[in-house]
Structure 1
Amino acid sequence: MKTEKIAFIGTGVMGASVVKHLMRASFDVTVYTRTKSKANALIELGAHWANTVAEAVREADIVFTMIGMPSDVEEVYLSESGVFANGHAGQIVVDMTTSSPELAVRLAEKAQSLGMFSLDAPVSGGDIGAKNGTLSIMCGGQKELFDRLMPILSVFGEKIVYQGEAGAGQHAKMCNQITVAGTMIGICEALAYAMKSGLDPDTMLQSVASGAAGSWNLSALGPRIIQEDYEPGFYVKHFVKDLNIALREAEALQLELPGLTLAQKMYSELLDKGYGEKGTQALIKHYINS
């Protein structure tokens, strides 16, 4: 078994798969998530269960978090029962949640004041990337820490890039989400057009997905749309959160992004219609009713 003891907070759609990769690589992993039943499969595979965040982090060398909202990140890290109040000097914390760059900087500063080390490392690749261990990981923090963690990040990531100081990983993730937002509109409009024009959507994808318009989202989510499979690889509710963060950051930069503004409006409407627990491919509901 590897010598580093890992605490992993958050075993959702992607987190559970990341934990499995760490365990297969012989790491000693303790998990905590708010609903224990979501971690049962991991416990059966040999992960240790902690009843609280505090219990999970006390003996850990490295703490990974992959949770929902920035408010969740603040609670997990900054509350009296959280990571910083119950961790120890020399401990490494890696937040893989997509959150605000400003919060990532605050966590890094707090970690430094406690003699701890922090990396913001949001990911892209959805449930498929997590299952296959091919996530793209965007990292912000000290370069020496990034280099030190590379062997562990490589267990579940494929494209792992150092973006710069604290917060840079989150800024890079905003670029990712801005790109995905525009891409998803294009994918849904292309499929709606194909269906209305009488094309076979699967046949259309054979040509388009391998040409200049090809993308991971088109290849992975296009077939799901055709099959009316809206189960989440990434939740609509979390994507709306990300787009809201990106818009706030763009405003702070005095940057107008009309494509992002449109996508945020469309996904917010989808959320209001009750699709928050569905995947981002549910955007097709703006164009077709099925």
Structure 2
Amino acid sequence: MNYSPENATVGFIGTGVMGASMAGHILKAGYPLHVYTRTRTKAEELVRQGAIWQETPAELAAACDVIITMIGYPQDVEAVYLGEQGLIANARQGSCLIDMTTSSPLLAQRIAEACAARGLHALDAPVSGGDVGAREARLSIMIGGEEQTVTAVRPLLELLGSNIVHQGAAGAGQHTKMCNQIAIASNMMGVCEAIAYAQSAGLNPQTVLQAIAGGAAGSWSLANLGPRMLAGDYEPGFYIKHFIKDMGIALDAAREMGLSLPGLSLAESLYRQLAEQGLEDKGTQALIQYYLSSQ
């Protein structure tokens, strides 16, 4: 690399629900920050705070040493990274490209190979923790790529997360995120079913959550999303449409490995029903509506 993490110019693409907070931490730490997002209004607060707006990913790539992406779907990642106007074709030699989108492990491997051919460094580093974890810089970061690259950019990653684990070669970060999403999918059904059961039994769901959150049933979803469900707060910390995308990636990868995941398949079918009802832009905690509507 032609720079040190302490004096790197950083680019950030994707300033949505989580990305805006993540980029903000980098800016507040004193790094020169360049930003791009398809909807410019989502980056205006960062620009007011001192970030530099770039009109295209290619222009951002040419100006930065480290580029972080936090965008929507694998097809978006492919469009931003590959092609004549993509990051890889326009990045400075020696630059590091870090994709923190939850995306395809196979695509992460393709990106890493294309980066290596141009003298660039690539990491797939998806995150978990939702909007709260992004705001509080407590994300879990799962990383695939070369160990020396992880070591070099760790100071930057530590601005975003508190649990940073290098999982292996390119694609390993994305495979790990699939494990994360698989665990969450069935857990979300369990949280919703517990609340629906409590209500049907005539219990106070709030005191039920207090009772079970500290025991063996405790989970991040129970503690953080259970109260939102009870309050009827379905605003997204993580969109249903993006969770459906993630579950689809995991199911495709599982099929390629000959692995059956019935819990994930059921969760994916329930969330698809919610999306068909017009709830795809709500948070994943809106799954409770499926159960409440059947009472």
In 2, Cα distance between the equivalents of 1:2 and 1:153?
12
Q: Does 1:273 align with 2:277?
A: yes
In 2, Cα distance between the equivalents of 1:129 and 1:166?
24
Determine which of 22, 42, 45 is the counterpart of 2:49: 45
User: What TM-score comes out, normalization by structure 2 length?
Assistant: 0.97
1:62-99 Cα shifts (integer Å, max 9, x gaps): 00000000000000001322101211210100000000
1:118-174 Cα shifts (integer Å, max 9, x gaps): 000000000000000000000000011111111110011000000000000000000
Q: Does 1:146 align with 2:181?
A: no
Q: Does 1:240 align with 2:244?
A: yes
* Runs of at least 5 residues in structure 1 that lack an aligned partner in the other structure: none
Deviation at 1:52, TM superposition (A): 0.9
- Superposition misfits of 4+ residues, deviation over 4 angstroms: none
Give the aligned partner of residue 194 of structure 1.
198
Q: Is the 8 A contact 1:88 1:114 kept in 2?
A: no
Query: Residue 219 of structure 1 aligns to which amino acid in structure 2?
Result: A
In 2, Cα distance between the equivalents of 1:127 and 1:80?
33
Give the aligned partner of residue 252 of structure 1.
256
Q: Which shifted more, 118-127 or 197-206?
A: 197-206
The 5 Å alignment of 1:71-82 reads 71-82=75-86
Q: Does 1:129 align with 2:133?
A: yes
Give the aligned partner of residue 287 of structure 2.
283
Q: Is the 8 A contact 1:10 1:65 kept in 2?
A: yes
In 1, Cα distance between the equivalents of 2:40 and 2:200?
45
1:164-221 Cα shifts (integer Å, max 9, x gaps): 0000000000000000000000000001111111111111111111111001111110
Aligned residue for 2:17, secondary structure, equals coil
Determine which of 164, 172, 190 is the counterpart of 2:168: 164
Aligned residue for 2:7, secondary structure, equals coil
Give the aligned partner of residue 110 of structure 1.
114
In 1, Cα distance between the equivalents of 2:57 and 2:172?
26
In 1, Cα distance between the equivalents of 2:202 and 2:27?
48
Superposition CA RMSD, Å: 1.2
In 2, Cα distance between the equivalents of 1:152 and 1:39?
20
Q: Is the 8 A contact 1:232 1:279 kept in 2?
A: yes
Aligned residue for 1:174, secondary structure, equals helix
Q: How many residues align?
A: 290
Deviation at 1:2, TM superposition (A): 4.5
Q: Is the 8 A contact 1:232 1:278 kept in 2?
A: yes
Deviation at 1:228, TM superposition (A): 0.3
* Runs of at least 5 residues in structure 2 that lack an aligned partner in the other structure: none
